[in-house]
């Protein structure tokens, strides 16, 4: 119960964007602290996966050893330790024990969050707290923010909302179909190209592999999704075409070229986990609009060295695979969600984003089935009574 409450509160707090709403400078630290609390809550509820915990400790050992070995003069232990939440939260969600109740509550809250984002975005703009639409620097295309501060966060929220809503619809809760449509609109309006692609593949796969749903229903859902998706894309076609044809890497190539020079300087140890954010020159920040790498493979090569980056992802991949095979039967959707996570990592800050890695967790929750009631279970356990055929009595003459 504690984990469910804290994790849901963490997501809701993130969507409320207290940094903008309350002009709170330390809002990022507050949001991260609740995700850390959720991580410890799921681990302390009992019986976490020991193999994944061992991989977590190996990951922490890797970044600490490389941090202790770096010759980078600007290295800071406080920066490294404050950044470890990015590792701990993800591994804890993979290792922790979950239930059907966790699944239902988290899916339902996640399905509602894009709508909450829309309502809060309207309210924040109405009272002058923040705009709900931002203009992309590279193309001049408007991108929807809602209550959040970055369109990338909004599109990731829409992606998770679509997935969670579709799972509820597949489970027979058809009233969530409207929320699926709202989430899809939020995703498309935010202009997330990569998140849209991941959403289509992962959610589509979840429909096709769903058990207990007739093939007719699956085909109907796929067709409805395609028609609805095409209609939405048609409405937003001008923005999509502009972003696909003109935005390219949105100026991030300049950032990546600079970061590659840092990798060449510290190829074996990197400069320390969590430090890339602080070394971006101001002139590049002005051009790109951010100090983040927007490519986790390059970011981790800067922070851990090229070999360290490879080891980091090997350990993470092993943890995801262990979690995906926990029930004996492979969770194909969770593996696809992780593949989508790696795809997003090539052009975004997926590891640091609190709204991109949850898709893996949402997919892992799909492994829980609705428990059978005690009465039904007792009825199933009753022995089957076979009727003995009646034999005609012998006639007196026999």
Per-residue pLDDT tens over the stretch 288-320? 778 889 999 999 999 999 999 999 999 999 999
Cα–Cα distance between 220 and 217 in angstroms, integer? 5
Cα–Cα distance between 10 and 31 in angstroms, integer? 7
Each domain of the chain, given as residue ranges in start order, spans: 2-368
Mean pLDDT of the chain: 87
Cα–Cα distance between 114 and 120 in angstroms, integer? 10
Task: Please give the pLDDT value at position 244.
Answer: 55
N- to C-terminal Cα separation, the chain: 75
Residues 6+ apart with CB under 8 A from 369: 100
Residue 218, pLDDT above cutoff 60? yes
Structure tokens at 147: 């209550």
Region 363-385 average pLDDT: 68
Residue 278, pLDDT above cutoff 90? yes
Task: Please give the pLDDT value at position 236.
Answer: 64
Q: H or E stretch including 248?
A: none
The alpha carbon dihedral of 63, 68, 72, 76 has a sign of positive
Per-residue pLDDT tens over the stretch 219-268? 777 777 777 767 766 666 666 555 555 555 566 888 999 999 999 999 99
Residue 114, pLDDT above cutoff 90? yes
Residue 339, pLDDT above cutoff 90? yes
- Band the pLDDT of 103: cuts 50, 70, 90: very high
β-sheet bridge partners, residue 133: 144
Region 167-192 average pLDDT: 91
Q: Are 112 and 77 in contact (CB under 8 A)?
A: no
**Angle, alpha carbons 298-304-310 (nearest 5°):** 70
**Is 142 in a helix, a strand, or coil?**
strand
Residue 15, pLDDT above cutoff 80? yes
**Is 98 in a helix, a strand, or coil?**
coil
Residue 384, pLDDT above cutoff 70? no
β-sheet bridge partners, residue 142: 135
Tell me if the pTM is above 0.85. yes
**Is 133 in a helix, a strand, or coil?**
strand
Which residue is associated with the tokens 């009825």?
379
What does each C-alpha distance from 282 to 26, 36, 157, 268, 298 come to in angstroms? 22, 31, 29, 26, 19
């Amino acid at each position: 119960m504690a984990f469910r409450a804290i994790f849901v509160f963490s997501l809701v707090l993130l969507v409320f964007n207290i940094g903008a709403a309350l002009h709170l400078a330390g809002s990022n630290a507050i949001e991260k602290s609740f995700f850390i609390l959720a991580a410890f809550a799921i681990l302390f509820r009992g019986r976490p996966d020991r193999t994944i915990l061992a991989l977590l400790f190996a990951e922490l050992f890797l970044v600490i050893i490389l941090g202790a070995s770096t010759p980078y003069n600007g290295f800071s232990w406080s920066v490294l330790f404050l950044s470890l939440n990015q590792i701990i939260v993800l591994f804890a969600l993979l290792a922790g024990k979950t239930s059907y109740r966790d699944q239902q509550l988290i899916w339902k809250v996640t399905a509602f969050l894009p709508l909450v984002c829309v309502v809060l975005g309207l309210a924040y703009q109405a009272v002058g707290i923040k705009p709900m639409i931002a203009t992309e620097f590279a193309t001049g295309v408007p991108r929807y923010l809602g209550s959040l501060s970055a369109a990338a966060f909004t599109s990731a929220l829409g992606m998770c909302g679509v997935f969670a809503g579709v799972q509820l619809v597949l489970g027979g809760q058809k009233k969530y179909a409207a929320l699926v449509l709202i989430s899809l609109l939020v995703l498309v309006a935010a202009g997330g190209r990569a998140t849209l692609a991941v959403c289509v593949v992962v959610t589509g796969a979840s429909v096709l592999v769903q058990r207990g749903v007739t093939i007719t229903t699956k085909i109907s859902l796929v067709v409805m999704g395609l028609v609805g998706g095409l209609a939405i894309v048609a409405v937003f076609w001008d923005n999509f075409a502009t972003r696909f044809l003109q935005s390219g890497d949105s100026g991030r190539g300049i950032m990546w070229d600079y970061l590659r020079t840092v990798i060449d300087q510290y190829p074996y140890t990197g400069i320390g986990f969590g430090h890339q954010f602080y070394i971006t020159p101001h002139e590049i920040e002005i051009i790109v609009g951010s100090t983040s790498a927007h490519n986790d493979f390059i970011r981790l090569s800067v922070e851990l060295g090229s070999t360290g980056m490879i080891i980091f992802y090997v350990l993470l991949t092993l943890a995801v695979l262990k979690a995906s095979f926990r029930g004996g039967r492979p969770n194909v959707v969770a593996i696809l969600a992780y593949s989508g996570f790696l795809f997003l990592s090539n052009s975004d800050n997926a590891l640091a984003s609190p709204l991109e890695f949850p898709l893996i967790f949402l997919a892992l929750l799909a492994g829980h089935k609705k428990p059978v009631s005690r009465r039904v279970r007792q009825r199933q356990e009753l022995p089957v009574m076979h009727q003995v055929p009646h034999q005609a009595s012998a006639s007196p003459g026999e």
